[in-house]
Amino acid sequence: MNHLIAPSILAADFGNLQRDLEMLDKSDADWVHVDIMDGMFVPNISFGFPVMSAARKYTSKPFDVHLMIVDPDRYLKAFKDAGADRITVHYEACPHLHRTIQAIKELGCKAGVALNPHTPVMLLQDIIEDLDLVLIMSVNPGFGGQKFIDNTYKKLKDLKEMSMKKNPGLMIEVDGGVDQHNITKLVDAGANVFVAGSAVFSSANPPATISNLKYPEKLLQS
C-alpha cells in the first residue's frame, strides 16, 4: 500500500510534547497533523502560534496544519511562519474559497480543503483542480476519540471518482476514528493520507501502531 500516516498531536501528551514529537520524528509517520481550534468554528480550543513554533523545533516531519477556525485568511501567513508545510481550511468557513486557496499557495504551502461530515463532495467540483489535498472528516470536528461515521466510505469513493477526472494527483485525507481495523477499507475507498490521534497516542506502543497503520499488509500476514 502506498499511503501516508499523519499522527495528530492533539492526542499527544501536552506535558511531554517534545518527547512525543521526537518519537514521531523517529517513527514511520510521514507528516505531523496539527489541529488548530478556535472555540468558535468548533467547540474546543487547542493551541496557536507559540506552541506550534515550539513544536517545529523537535521534528523534521512536514506539518499538516488543519485550521478549524473562522475567517482563516487572517492567519495564513502566521501559520506559514510558525512552520506549516500544508494548510487545510474548511469549506464551511470560507465564503471566498478560491481566494483563500490562492493565498495559501502564494505563501509557498500546499493547499487543502476539509469537509465536515454533512458536506457533500460535489461542492468541490469547481475548485478541485486547484487543490493539493481534500480532507474528509469522518467524525464531527472539535474533539478526538469519536466514533467513525460510516458514510465516509461513500464520500471517499465519490471524491476519488471526481479527482480521477479533474485532478488525478489529489491527496485524499481522512481524519477521525482511523485505526488498524478500517484503514485497509479506507485505502480501497480511495484515501491515501490518514490522520490518527487516539489510535496512536493511546496505544501501548505508538511507534509500532504507526508502523501497523503504514504497513497493514504486514500485520495481516503476521
Which residues are marked as active site? 35, 175
Q: How far apart are the C-alpha atoms of 36 and 40, rounded to whole Å? A: 11
Cβ neighbour number for residue 179 with a 10 Å cutoff: 16
Strands of the 32-37 sheet, one edge to the other: 4-7, 193-196, 171-175, 133-137, 110-115, 86-90, 63-68, 32-37
Contact 193, 6 (CB under 8 A): yes
Q: DSSP letters along 73-101, please?
A: GGGHHHHHHTT-SEEEEEGGG-TTHHHHH
212 CB-near residues (< 8 Å, 6+ apart)? 180, 218, 219
Phi, psi of 136 (to 5 degrees): -95, 120
Q: How far apart are the C-alpha atoms of 52 and 126, rounded to whole Å? A: 32
**Where is 212: in which H helix or E strand?**
helix 206-214
